């Protein structure tokens, strides 16, 4: 049996696997997360995607201190992904932002794959969208430029509905614009 991995499925899998417990394991800035490439002076552990946004920029989005969560296989070929995470309320709330950059194919670019109603975004790549509310997938913005697809997804997989990621959709789009500027 062959399963087709859409960008939304990749994000959902990473959200579920990402360390988000309060058991002292790697996973959040207050739970022993290893430093990102930016924090450790660019030495090892960081992927290209992790270098495109700073922990401070992501912390501003979350309203809580965030850090990149290292993964074993962040970069595959010309594709790269990075997950930032923050915890609040002693682990009762988790914020996650995932940046994925896929090069060499346009097959993964599908605005309808993100669990909500995509809205067009002007002035970003050849084609761009934002899904303000994609259910468990949260808010996702993405764009296609040539054969490169870039997605930025903001979710709250743990915690009450105190903060709805859809209210910060414009902020997610602005972070995606910053990523685009840095990729050029």
At 98-137, the pLDDT tens digits run 999 999 888 888 998 888 899 999 999 999 999 998 777 7
156 vs 124, which has greater pLDDT?
124
Distance CA 112, CA 95 (A): 23
Distance CA 99, CA 66 (A): 14
Which structure tokens are listed for 116?
């909500």
Q: What whole-number percentage of the chain has pLDDT above 70?
A: 68
At 8-48, the pLDDT tens digits run 444 443 433 343 333 333 333 333 333 333 333 333 334 58
Find out whether 86 and 77 touch, Cβ atoms under 8 Å: no
pTM (predicted TM-score): 0.73
């Amino acid at each position: 049996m062959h399963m087709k991995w859409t960008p939304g499925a990749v994000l959902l899998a990473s959200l579920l696997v990402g360390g988000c417990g309060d058991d002292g394991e790697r996973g959040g800035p207050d739970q022993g997360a290893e430093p990102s490439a930016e924090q450790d002076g660019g030495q090892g552990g960081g992927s290209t995607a992790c270098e495109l946004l700073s922990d401070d920029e992501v912390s501003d989005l979350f309203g809580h201190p965030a850090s990149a969560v290292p993964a074993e296989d962040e970069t595959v070929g010309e594709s790269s992904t990075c997950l930032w995470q923050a915890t609040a309320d002693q682990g009762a709330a988790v914020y996650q932002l995932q940046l994925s950059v896929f090069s060499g194919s346009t097959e993964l670019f599908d605005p309808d794959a993100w669990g909500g109603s995509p809205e067009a975004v002007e002035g970003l790549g050849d084609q761009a969208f934002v899904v303000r509310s994609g259910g468990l997938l949260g808010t996702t913005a993405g764009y296609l430029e040539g054969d490169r697809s870039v997605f930025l997804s903001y979710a709250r997989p743990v915690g009450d509905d105190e903060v709805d990621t859809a209210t910060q959709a414009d902020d997610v789009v602005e972070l995606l614009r910053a990523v685009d500027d840095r990729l050029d």
